[in-house]
Amino acid sequence: MALRHFGVAAAFALTVGMTASPALAVTEIQWWHAMTGANNDVIVKLANDFNTSQSDFKVVPTYKGNYADTMNAGIAAFRAGNAPHIMQVFEVGTATMMAATGAVKPVYKLMAEAGEKFDPKIYLPAITGYYSTSKGEMLSFPFNSSSTVMWVNLDELKKANVAIPKTWPETFEAAKKLKAAGHDTCGFSGSWVTWVNLEQLSAWHNVPLASKANGLDGFDTKLEFNGPLQVKHLENLVELQKTKVYDYAGRTNTGEGRFTSGECPIYLTSSAFFGNVKAQAKFNFTAVPMPYYPEAKGAPQNSIIGGASLWVMGGKPADEYKGVAKFLTFLSDTDRQVYIHKASGYLPITKAAYEKAKAEGFYKDQPYLETPLLELTNKEPTENSRGLRLGNMVQLRDVWSEEIEQALAGKKTAKQALDAAVERGNTMLRQFEKTAVK
Amino acid sequence: MQKQAIFQSRLLPYALVAPQLAIVLLFFYWPALQAVIQSFLLQDAFGLSTSFVWFENYLDLFREPAYFEAILRTFFFSFAIAVSSLSFALLLAVMADKPLRGSMLYRTLLIWPYAVAPPVVGVLWIFMLHPSLGIIARYLRAIGVDWNPLLDGDQAATLIILAAAWKQISYNFLFFLAGLQSIPRSVLEAAAIDGARPMRRFWTVTFPLLSPTIFFLLVVNIVYAFFDTFGIIDTMTRGGPGKSTETLVYKVYSDGLLGGNLGSSAAQSVILMVMVIVLTGIQFRFVERKVTY
């Protein structure tokens, strides 16, 4: 039963809190995260490097399960009075964390109070904008950022004599040819159905997903993604689903094996998919920018980020915050950012690190690693492409996915599905607005 | 059959029951009370702002058509899981009850699936039936079935019912076997001498004598389908596609833990709790007296 989980989580948080009492002269900084495999190694190395670089503080990283689990563990721990110092929260948890005034310590305040040197201008605005107020005050520290790109199986495209598509109509044509050439279960597909086909699509074409700059300027935002562009795009997907030129691959990234196995030769998903592609794909591949509709005015605009940022939890003593501030400064170092970028495939967050990677010729033989950065910095962000900040985003995405699935299954038209998704989503946003701390 | 024990001291029986009571209080009554309290509150995920809203959370639920759909869906799922699992288990038990060589081996093998945890069951079935990974899914496509539970709600529901029923077969099988073995042979022999054929013997003698067991299992299976299918749903479909596999217990989880809407989630928990109390009540009233373990 769900009730018991709270008890368990709270009890667990208690035990963690009890074992984490500083027994030595060093002050411990708890860091809860959701990184596995190679990315977990990166986290451990960063913590170790920091711990050996000075002797006052010790960063202790703890893996807490997937993104949603980590966030729930942090919330349960906070309720039990044992929150960690630093918590990794995925981008869709941003509004929930922001609304929790008092539960979190905004990064810009933390740096000022701890007397750390901190210049928000050294970071890439396309990345920090997502986690800052409209005044440009940084609330959380971007850690692992990615964007949506189109992964392409070069061998299969060559075999079918298809050029790499740039626009959506070209992509549909390419997928039809690939299907005719033997990919009869899947011409193209993608993960994270709402991120790719609603959130990124809207930003990339400079149309609003929601009012109030997609929620960045206030919790009284209303969803607006049932406009002509998004409806037309979903209609195209519904039409192609009938013949499997497009084949739906689920709400999360569980379908990504369909690209690496060679089943789907074109696949839209996160740029952070790189590690798995490199390890598993037995063919030549690349990643190119997302397609766009050429008739849309000003497209392509710029993409928005995915991934996660580090939130500093509230209510800790000042000397511990000093350690957290030092650690964030340590993470902002240029060489360290280049290391994170190369080791994990996530994007560097400072301009200096991006320039350095470029100067080192890092993108020469791996141009696809620069693709998400080129998308993010394609144009100066607008109201529609700075980022998103919608409450209960995890569940909102589930609701949107449900409706998109209904359309793809032929139970509703694209317009009906998106209208319903907007309406149901707005109800949830009003509920969130009621509970958000003013 | 009442067992009576005589205790010399007055306090001893209470002392003996105390540990059990403490556990029940700590792990059931306390969280249940928390849920009831929480269901009257409107609160953000962090518990920073709390307002007392009386029955608002309950009223919101009853205004939501999706909630009634979830109730109907849960009843349908429970019924489908219970019936398919019970009938198949009964068939197997009747087979295993025959004097066969190696019947012990069959019985042991049939009991095994009960030891598998629900999420693992989900993963096992996914490996067989996932549209792009599944072994069986490939054959289905090869013979021209358009198998895609990621989009087809009915197929996804079938998948969940299949996996959940499969796991419960072992448990039902055990009880049926015990029930069958307690049926007096003399009655069956008398029926045989009167010229009743096996089918007729089963329906006129065995089945009625098994009815308390069947009724008991029906209640247990419905409770199982209500709650323990959570792990299967979470690993297989996460309530999708659309809402076609979102049952009440999964909704409690997704509204509370994924959506951070604790008030509504708690209200749903309380409603579920009441349903189970009613079911258990029925079981005690009508069944406990007739079933001998």
pLDDT tens over chain B, length 293 residues: 455 667 777 888 888 899 999 999 999 899 999 899 989 988 777 877 778 888 888 998 898 888 999 999 999 999 999 999 999 999 988 888 877 777 778 778 888 888 888 888 888 888 888 877 788 888 887 787 888 888 888 889 999 999 999 989 999 999 998 888 888 888 888 988 988 888 888 888 888 888 888 888 988 898 888 888 888 898 888 887 878 888 999 999 888 877 777 888 999 999 998 988 888 888 777 766 655 43
For domain B63-288, give its CATH number from 1.10.3720.10, 3.40.50.2000, 2.40.50.140, 3.40.190.10. 1.10.3720.10
In angstroms, what CA-CA distances link A109 with A9, A140, A222, A308, B251? 30, 10, 30, 20, 38
Taking CB atoms and an 8 Å cutoff, what residues of chain B touch A398? 238-240, 254, 258
Residue B127 has a CB neighbour count (10 Å cut-off) of 13
Are A428 and B259 inside 8 Å of each other by CB? yes
- The full set of domains in chain A, from first to last, is 2-146+305-364 (3.40.190.10), 148-302+391-435 (3.40.190.10)
Taking CB atoms and an 8 Å cutoff, what residues of chain A touch B35? 3
Among B31, B152, B240, the residue with its CB nearest the CB of A7 is B31
Are B257 and A398 inside 8 Å of each other by CB? no
Cβ(A268)–Cβ(A290) below 8 Å: yes
| Mean pLDDT, residues A339-344 | 88
Cβ(A258)–Cβ(A222) below 8 Å: no
Taking CB atoms and an 8 Å cutoff, what residues of chain B touch A423? none
- Mutation pick from A193, A405, A432 vs chain B, by most beta carbons of B within 10 Å, is A405
In angstroms, what CA-CA distances link A320 with A71, A138, A192, A315, B283? 21, 20, 38, 10, 57
Cβ(A107)–Cβ(A51) below 8 Å: no
Are B49 and A437 inside 8 Å of each other by CB? yes
- For residue A249, the distance in angstroms to the closest alpha carbon of chain B comes to 7
Cβ(A253)–Cβ(A163) below 8 Å: no
Taking CB atoms and an 8 Å cutoff, what residues of chain A touch B45? 75, 96, 100
Confidence of residue A241 (pLDDT cuts 50, 70, 90): very high
Q: Is the pLDDT of residue A18 over 60?
A: no
**Distance separating alpha carbons of residues A5 and A82, to the nearest angstrom:** 17
What's the predicted TM-score (pTM) here?
0.81
Are A99 and B256 inside 8 Å of each other by CB? no
Are A100 and B261 inside 8 Å of each other by CB? no
Are A6 and B31 inside 8 Å of each other by CB? yes
Taking CB atoms and an 8 Å cutoff, what residues of chain B touch A406? 241-242
pLDDT at B2: 54
DSSP H or E stretch at residue A104: strand A104-105
| Mean pLDDT, residues A311-325 | 93
Q: Is the pLDDT of residue A24 over 70?
A: no
Taking CB atoms and an 8 Å cutoff, what residues of chain A touch B24? none
